[in-house]
Amino acid sequence: MITASRDGCVGKILLISTTSVYPNVNRVVTEQDADVHNPITQAERIVQDSGIPATILRFGGLFGPGRHPGRFLAGKDAISGGNLPVNLIHMDDCIEIIKNIVDHNVWGHVFNACSDDHPARKEFYTKAAIALGLRPPIFSDDDHGGYKIVSSERLKTVLNYKFSHSLA
């Protein structure tokens, strides 16, 4: 990709990345909190350092048509981390954000893209399974895993973006 861009075949890069670049630090994370040792963060850095106009877009977990969250954990037992927050985004928002970046020529940025809502896993996935008529997941009392709440404030400010889909 970088070589093709340098050869003039590609003028700009929009790299779709992931919020998994953030460690579980038990707080809200912003674009500056990425783990520099994470291989994905290192790949992002190669794109940023290429000299080609590029924007990095870090999506949370995807849901939407064909990816209903009610199916993700339905019928499973002894799932840990029920009280930990989710970081998800609807496919419609993904498409609109990409369209905004391209249409408004917004290059040279790193953005997080997650819904504004971060309900507890237990609450969210139970409700989603019930909505599909599936057996809800059963969560254990183990909440010892770390978490992060991914902030999309920068994206909302720079693109003046309002999320279409809520997790509430």
- Under 8 Å between Cβ of 54 and 47: yes
Instruction: List, for residues 20-30, the tens digit of each pLDDT value.
Output: 999 999 999 99
Is it the case that residue 6 has pLDDT exceeding 70? no
Dump pLDDT digits (tens) for 39-82.
999 999 999 999 999 999 999 999 999 999 898 899 999 999 99
Rounded-to-integer distance, Cα 21 and Cα 124, Å: 23
> Distance (Å, rounded) from C-alpha 51 to C-alpha 74?
46
- Of the options 3.10.180.10, 3.40.50.720, 3.40.50.300, 3.90.870.30, the CATH number for the domain spanning 2-158: 3.40.50.720
pLDDT digits (tens, 9 = 90+) for 86-140: 999 999 999 999 999 999 999 999 999 999 999 999 999 999 999 999 999 999 8
Q: Please, which pLDDT band fits residue 3 given cuts at 50, 70 and 90?
A: low
3-state helix, strand, coil in the chain (%, to 5): 35, 20, 45
Q: What is the pLDDT of residue 63?
A: 94
Quote the pLDDT of residue 57. Answer: 98
Compute the distance between CA of residue 110 and CA of residue 58 in angstroms, rounded to an integer: 8
Q: Which helix (H) or strand (E) holds 41?
A: helix 39-48
